[in-house]
């Protein structure tokens, strides 16, 4: 029967007839056309993306330097502007102590309760203007809630954690703080606190070296990548790096990562999500051990200076989204790092300020972070300021406990 | 191996290359058999997991042999037996839990094997001249890796015509080029379009339950309803594009399963264009026999048109129910059957109300067609709530807005779909009207190379950037 079906219908199909020959020119023309299409799309999209989402300036290159003793510092009395593809043009103004504090350094005014912020780029207010950073918004909110004059002196610096935790202690005679608030992010922990404290090896590329690695002009950039590829021997890695070094990569990622679902799925599969995993790997355990050592060091310094200190974890974009959704895939826990840090900080005598639960009530908090870059934007800083103000005045720091407020003042504060 | 992954495409291409080492039917059949068994092995590593599937195949073959030996009286019993075993293996929830096998076994593709087995039994039982199908041909037909997981449901005679032909159908550079282009198109649909539509719908699902202002909630509800049909189409038709092209590279032509379904101007027309092989199968084996049987028994002529409506309802209710084992799919079936039956009633009513001739003129009116298209899309989009959601999720989604607000959303979807689909049709028509002597420019191999390159690049970029597999093929689960 099978053969009968096959044979009886054999002549009915036009496709059984010989296929017309493909002209010889098409054997060359069609592959060339395909190649040309790919090149045109890549070059044109890169040009358009570069013009629309351009970047300019480099605060790390022009306004910061690598202090052999204290790590990366702002160059005193310098001003830089920087724009990354996702951000507006931002001004970075460093005072005479090299801090982006929004004020001059020096002793605190009489009657003022001064909090010194230490931390990395998030604490510094990287990628937001200084007046829109949480460090600038917090004093007003705290003053309203506590009816005290409160001032925040910001010593946070890009790449500054944990070196910048040393700054308040080194600058004690000048700043005379009442509280040191250490602002931590998951990235600070995962990039290795202790490693950073021990300083990088002399041959590791610094910010300046990195900024020179990929030139701005497309042909030069391609040449640099080909050189790298020849040197490293890994084509796939270099293709990925080549792709990631282009504007079109950032722009595509930016639009894709605006989707909470796509972003979370992608992030959770990446190596950056280790801190969210319930079962940590040995490297992460090492990172936590380093955090423990640094926290002990901070406690010793704080004790000898007679200063109270506190630490707060600012969640990253994926963590904030997961907390807000209230559900996450099995094997992950957005509160895990929060709990681990609390036990480390408290065991060494510090106060842990917990703002993560506050993200439960914020719909889609991931929209307040730059999708590719990952830093909070101005909206994100406003949320952090609100949550920090509530947490700091909840009684965790007795001097900052909120006093009962008439409703009108509370409304005004909001 | 994911069913529309890069690995699957490579696997299929490798199979096609090996299959073309010889044009002999024996060689091509051996390759197809080995590749299909390897494919099954890649899907599950436990031999015990295949036992129920083997049992089902053995039952089907046993019944087939009996029918081939002229025991036509057994046809009804053998069909009933196959249906009952299928329901049992698929664990339909109306059966008691204790009746099921309580160990993890392989059911992927069982639904499609079920259709193929039934087709063989009915085809063999109905024919006066009994067809002879050997065990090898039976296994090749039922386990063919290109149609195993999600169809398309190919008729046996069509399969045998190409697979067992002494002189296989031609496979030249033009055909290869077209199939490669189709694979890229399918891969783009699955790994770019489907992934984006699914992610955006998931975002909307999260947002609809959040304390947001009303306009944002309405917008979220709009996206929840609209994005799923687009996802499902990209997901399923993309996979079908890939397997049709792979089979063609192995010199077998599979039937088309989609024909621009969102261009359908009515719900009946929609089901002629969506999952075509399933609806054709059910029309052949359920609608036609049922209608004939009813017409033989009921001789009241005025009732005749309504018998068609009833048969439409039953057929498309079964289409819906086939998709899943739970009560949600019963509702999905009622809505599919109800939609098709209402559509048929509308046609009858209009033909009676304004006259057959006037109705024909009206049905050709572009504005009427555009609104019909929009209504078809919006109805399908809402029926899919019972396709993608369980009762808890459906309750959650509907509770987010009042009935009046949902009506506003539905109206908005109807109007938007009407406008967007009409613009799309106009654009497509205009582009296809640009012609040379060889045909429309848009379908020339030069333009195809350009857009296949662009789609391939987009699919590659998405795969690299997102570092995650494309969503699995939804119909694999049925």
A7 in contact with B, Cβ within 8 Å: yes
Cα separation, A7 vs B309, whole angstroms: 40
Confidence of residue A71 (pLDDT cuts 50, 70, 90): low
| Of residues B392, B154, B115, B397, the one with CA closest to residue B257 | B154
Q: Say if residue A146 is in the same domain as residue A282.
A: yes
pLDDT-wise least confident of A147-161, B26-40, B143-157: A147-161
Q: Do A259 and B200 touch (CB under 8 A)?
A: yes
Cα separation, A126 vs B313, whole angstroms: 62
Q: Do A266 and B466 touch (CB under 8 A)?
A: yes
pLDDT at B221: 97
Confidence of residue A170 (pLDDT cuts 50, 70, 90): low
What residue of A is the nearest CA neighbor of B141?
A2
Number of other residues whose CB lies within 10 A of the CB of residue A132: 17
Q: Which residue has the higher pLDDT, A342 or B324?
A: A342
What residue of A is the nearest CA neighbor of B194?
A262
A347 in contact with B, Cβ within 8 Å: no
Cα separation, B62 vs B67, whole angstroms: 9
Q: Say if residue A287 is in the same domain as residue A408.
A: yes
Q: Given the structure tokens 């189709």, which residue do they identify?
A: B182
* Domain annotation covers residue A74: no
For residue A16, the chain B residues in CB contact (below 8 A) are 167, 169-170
What residue of A is the nearest CA neighbor of B155?
A5
Average pLDDT estimate for A215-223:
65
Out of B169, B450, B457, the one facing A13 most closely (by C-beta) is B169
Q: Which of residues 34-63 of A touch B (CB under 8 A)?
A: 34-35, 37-38, 41-42
Q: Do A261 and B207 touch (CB under 8 A)?
A: no
> pLDDT tens-digit profile of A344-372?
999 999 999 999 999 999 999 999 999 99
Confidence of residue B128 (pLDDT cuts 50, 70, 90): low
Integer-rounded Cα radius of gyration of chain A: 27
> pLDDT tens-digit profile of B277-299?
999 999 999 999 999 999 998 88
DSSP-derived secondary structure for B176-200? HHHHHHHHHHHHHIIIIIIHHHHHH
> pLDDT tens-digit profile of B62-86?
999 999 888 778 888 999 999 999 9
pLDDT at A213: 42
pLDDT at A209: 35
pLDDT-wise least confident of A208-212, B61-65, B135-139, B434-438: A208-212
Q: Say if residue A364 is in the same domain as residue A258.
A: yes
Q: Do A33 and B453 touch (CB under 8 A)?
A: yes
B452 in contact with A, Cβ within 8 Å: yes
Q: Say if residue A180 is in the same domain as residue A229.
A: no
Q: How far is B126 from chain A (nearest CA, A)?
A: 15
Q: Which residue has the higher pLDDT, B401 or A215?
A: B401
Q: Say if residue A174 is in the same domain as residue A314.
A: yes
This prediction has a pTM of: 0.87
* Domain annotation covers residue A360: yes
Q: Say if residue A145 is in the same domain as residue A185.
A: yes
Exposure pattern of B232-259 as b/e (b: 16+ CB <10 Å)?
A: bbbbbbbbbbbbbbbbbbbbbbbbebbe
pLDDT-wise least confident of A268-272, A387-391, B204-208, B251-255: A268-272
Out of B170, B177, B453, the one facing A37 most closely (by C-beta) is B453
For residue B212, the chain A residues in CB contact (below 8 A) are 363
Full strand arrangement of the beta sheet holding A309-313: A150-154, A113-119, A179-184, A309-313, A351-353
Out of B160, B199, B453, the one facing A259 most closely (by C-beta) is B199
Average pLDDT estimate for B318-345:
93
Q: Answer yes or no: is pLDDT of A240 > 80.
A: no
A374 Cβ contact partners less than 8 Å away, ≥ 6 residues apart: A187, A316, A317
Q: Say if residue A249 is in the same domain as residue A305.
A: no
Cα separation, B372 vs B359, whole angstroms: 14
Q: Do B175 and A7 touch (CB under 8 A)?
A: no
Q: Which residue has the higher pLDDT, B127 or B76?
A: B76
Q: Answer yes or no: is pLDDT of A198 > 80.
A: no
Q: Which of residues 168-197 of B touch A (CB under 8 A)?
A: 169-175, 177, 195-196
Q: Say if residue A368 is in the same domain as residue A239.
A: no
pLDDT at A174: 63
> pLDDT tens-digit profile of B299-316?
888 888 899 999 999 999
pLDDT-wise least confident of A15-19, B236-240, B445-449: A15-19
pLDDT at B470: 79
H or E stretch covering A67: strand A64-67
B168 Cβ contact partners less than 8 Å away, ≥ 6 residues apart: B23, B25, B28, B162, B251
pLDDT at A202: 39
Beta-bridge mates of residue A90:
A82
> pLDDT tens-digit profile of B1-20?
666 788 999 999 999 999 99
Q: Answer yes or no: is pLDDT of B46 > 80.
A: yes
pLDDT at B478: 77
Out of B211, B452, B467, the one facing A363 most closely (by C-beta) is B211
Number of other residues whose CB lies within 10 A of the CB of residue B265: 20
What is the overall mean pLDDT for chain B?
A: 93
Instruction: State the ipTM, two decimals.
Output: 0.85
pLDDT at B130: 60
Q: Say if residue A266 is in the same domain as residue A404.
A: yes
B263 in contact with A, Cβ within 8 Å: no
Confidence of residue B345 (pLDDT cuts 50, 70, 90): very high
Q: Answer yes or no: is pLDDT of B163 > 60.
A: yes
Q: Do A249 and B449 touch (CB under 8 A)?
A: no
pLDDT at A4: 45
* Domain annotation covers residue A93: no
| Of residues A81, A78, A80, A118, the one with CA closest to residue A96 | A78
For residue B446, the chain A residues in CB contact (below 8 A) are 29-30, 33
Which residue intervals of B22-152 are DSSP H helices?
A: 25-43, 51-68, 75-89, 110-126, 135-143
* Domain annotation covers residue A230: yes
Q: Do A256 and B465 touch (CB under 8 A)?
A: yes
pLDDT at A10: 43
Total domains in chain A come to: 2
Beta strands A79-82; A90-93: pairing state? antiparallel
Q: Do A30 and B172 touch (CB under 8 A)?
A: no
Out of B160, B163, B206, the one facing A260 most closely (by C-beta) is B206
Q: Say if residue A231 is in the same domain as residue A153.
A: no
Q: The domain spanning residue A357 has which CATH number?
A: 3.40.50.1110
What is the overall mean pLDDT for chain A?
A: 82
Q: Range of A167's domain?
A: 100-197+254-413
Q: Where are the domains of chain B?
A: 21-148, 173-254+437-477, 261-385
Confidence of residue A234 (pLDDT cuts 50, 70, 90): low
A96 in contact with B, Cβ within 8 Å: no
Q: Say if residue A273 is in the same domain as residue A241.
A: no
Helix (H, G, I), strand (E, B) or coil at A356: helix
Q: Give the total residue count for chain B.
A: 478
| Of residues A260, A231, A228, the one with CA closest to residue A241 | A228
Out of B133, B166, B468, the one facing A1 most closely (by C-beta) is B133
Confidence of residue A5 (pLDDT cuts 50, 70, 90): very low
pLDDT at A301: 84
B17 in contact with A, Cβ within 8 Å: no
Q: Say if residue A367 is in the same domain as residue A284.
A: yes
> pLDDT tens-digit profile of A73-101?
889 999 999 998 899 999 999 999 888 99
Average pLDDT estimate for B469-476:
83
> pLDDT tens-digit profile of A253-287?
899 999 999 999 989 988 889 999 998 888 888 88
Helix (H, G, I), strand (E, B) or coil at A292: helix
pLDDT at A132: 96
Q: Which of residues 343-362 of B touch A (CB under 8 A)?
A: none
* Domain annotation covers residue A347: yes
Q: Which residue has the higher pLDDT, A72 or B120?
A: B120
Q: Which of residues 194-223 of A touch B (CB under 8 A)?
A: none
Q: How far is A34 from chain B (nearest CA, A)?
A: 6
Among A1, A257, A324, pick the best mutation site for testing chain B contact (most B Cβ within 10 A): A1
Out of B133, B445, B468, the one facing A266 most closely (by C-beta) is B468
């Amino acid at each position: 029967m099978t053969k009968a079906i096959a044979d009886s219908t054999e002549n009915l199909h036009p496709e059984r007839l010989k296929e017309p020959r493909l002209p010889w020119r098409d054997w060359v023309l069609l592959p060339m056309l395909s190649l040309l299409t790919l090149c045109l799309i890549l070059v044109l999209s890169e040009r358009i993306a570069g013009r629309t989402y351009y970047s300019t300036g480099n605060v790390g290159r022009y306004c910061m330097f690598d202090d052999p003793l204290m790590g990366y510092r702002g160059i005193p009395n310098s001003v830089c502007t920087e724009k990354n593809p996702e951000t507006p043009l931002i001004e970075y103004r460093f005072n005479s102590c090299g801090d982006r504090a929004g004020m001059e350094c020096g002793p605190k005014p009489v009657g003022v309760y001064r909090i010194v912020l230490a931390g990395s780029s998030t604490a510094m207010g990287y990628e937001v203007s200084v007046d829109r950073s949480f460090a600038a918004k917090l004093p007003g909110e705290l003053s309203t809630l506590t009816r005290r004059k409160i001032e925040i002196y910001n010593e946070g610096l890009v790449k500054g954690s944990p070196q910048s935790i040393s700054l308040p202690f080194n600058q004690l005679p000048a700043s005379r703080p009442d509280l040191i608030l250490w602002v931590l992010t998951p990235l600070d922990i995962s990039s290795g606190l202790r490693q950073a404290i021990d300083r990088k090896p002399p041959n590791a590329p610094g910010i300046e070296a990195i900024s020179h690695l990929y030139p701005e002009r497309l042909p030069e950039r391609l040449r640099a990548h080909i050189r790298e590829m020849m040197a490293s021997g890994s084509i796939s890695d270099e293709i990925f790096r080549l792709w990631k070094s282009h504007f079109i990569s950032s722009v595509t990622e930016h639009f894709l990562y605006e989707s909470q679902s796509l972003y979370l799925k992608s992030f959770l599969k990446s190596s950056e999500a280790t801190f969210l995993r319930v079962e940590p790997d040995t490297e992460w355990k090492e990172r936590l051990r380093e955090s423990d050592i640094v926290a002990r060091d901070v406690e010793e310094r704080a004790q000898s200076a007679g200063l109270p200190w506190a630490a707060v974890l600012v969640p990253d974009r994926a963590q904030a989204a997961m907390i807000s959704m209230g559900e996450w895939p099995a094997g992950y826990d957005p509160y895990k790092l929060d709990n681990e840090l609390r036990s480390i900080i408290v065991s060494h005598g510090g106060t842990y300020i917990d703002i993560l639960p506050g993200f439960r009530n914020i719909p889609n908090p991931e929209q307040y972070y730059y999708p590719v870059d990952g830093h909070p934007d101005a909206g994100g800083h406003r949320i952090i300021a609100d949550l920090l103000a509530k947490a700091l005045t909840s009684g965790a720091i007795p001097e900052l406990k909120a006093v009962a407020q008439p409703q009108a003042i509370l409304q005004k504060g909001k | 191996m994911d069913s529309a992954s890069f690995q699957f495409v490579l696997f299929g291409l490798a199979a096609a290359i090996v299959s073309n080492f010889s044009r002999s039917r024996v060689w091509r059949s051996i390759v197809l058999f080995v590749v299909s068994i390897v494919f099954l092995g890649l899907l599950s590593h436990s031999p015990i997991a295949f036992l129920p599937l083997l049992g089902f195949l053995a039952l089907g073959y046993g019944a087939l042999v009996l029918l081939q030996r002229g025991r036509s009286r057994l046809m009804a019993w053998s069909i009933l037996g196959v249906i009952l075993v299928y329901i049992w293996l698929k664990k339909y929830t109306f059966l008691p839990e204790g009746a099921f096998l309580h160990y993890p076994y392989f059911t992927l593709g069982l639904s499609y094997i079920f259709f193929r087995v039934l087709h063989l039994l009915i085809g063999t039982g109905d024919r006066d001249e009994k067809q002879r199908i050997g065990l090898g041909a039976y296994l090749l037909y039922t386990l063919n890796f290109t149609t195993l997981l999600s169809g398309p449901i190919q008729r046996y005679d069509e399969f045998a015509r190409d697979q067992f032909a002494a002189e296989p159908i031609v496979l030249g550079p033009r055909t290869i080029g077209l199939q490669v282009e189709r694979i890229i198109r399918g891969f783009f649909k699955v790994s770019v379009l489907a992934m984006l539509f699914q992610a955006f719908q998931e975002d909307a699902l999260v947002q609809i339950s959040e304390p947001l202002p009303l306009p944002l909630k309405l917008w979220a509800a709009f996206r929840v309803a609209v994005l799923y049909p687009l996802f499902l189409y990209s997901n399923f038709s993309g996979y079908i594009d890939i397997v049709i092209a792979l089979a063609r590279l192995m010199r077998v032509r599979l039937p088309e399963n989609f024909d621009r379904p969102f261009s359908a101007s009515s719900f009946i027309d929609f089901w002629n264009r969506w999952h075509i092989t399933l609806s054709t199968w059910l029309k052949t084996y359920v609608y036609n026999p049922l209608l004939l049987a009813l017409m033989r028994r009921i001789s009241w002529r005025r009732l005749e048109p309504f018998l068609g409506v009833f048969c439409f309802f039953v057929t498309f209710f079964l289409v819906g129910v086939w998709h899943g084992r739970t009560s949600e799919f019963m509702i999905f079936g009622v809505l599919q059957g109800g939609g098709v039956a209402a559509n048929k009633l509308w046609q009858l009513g209009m033909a009676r109300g304004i006259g057959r001739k006037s109705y024909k003129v009206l049905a050709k009116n572009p504005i009427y067609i555009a609104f019909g298209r929009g209504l078809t899309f919006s109805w399908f989009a809402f029926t899919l709530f019972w396709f993608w959601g369980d009762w808890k999720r459906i309750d959650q989604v509907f509770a987010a807005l009042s009935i009046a607000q949902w009506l506003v959303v539905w109206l908005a979807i109807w109007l938007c779909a009407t406008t967007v689909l009409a613009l799309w049709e106009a654009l497509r028509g205009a582009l296809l009207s640009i012609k040379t002597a060889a045909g429309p420019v848009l379908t020339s191999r030069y333009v195809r190379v350009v857009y296949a390159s662009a789609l391939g690049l987009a699919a590659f970029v998405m795969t690299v950037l997102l570092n995650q597999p494309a969503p699995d093929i939804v119909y694999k689960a049925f």
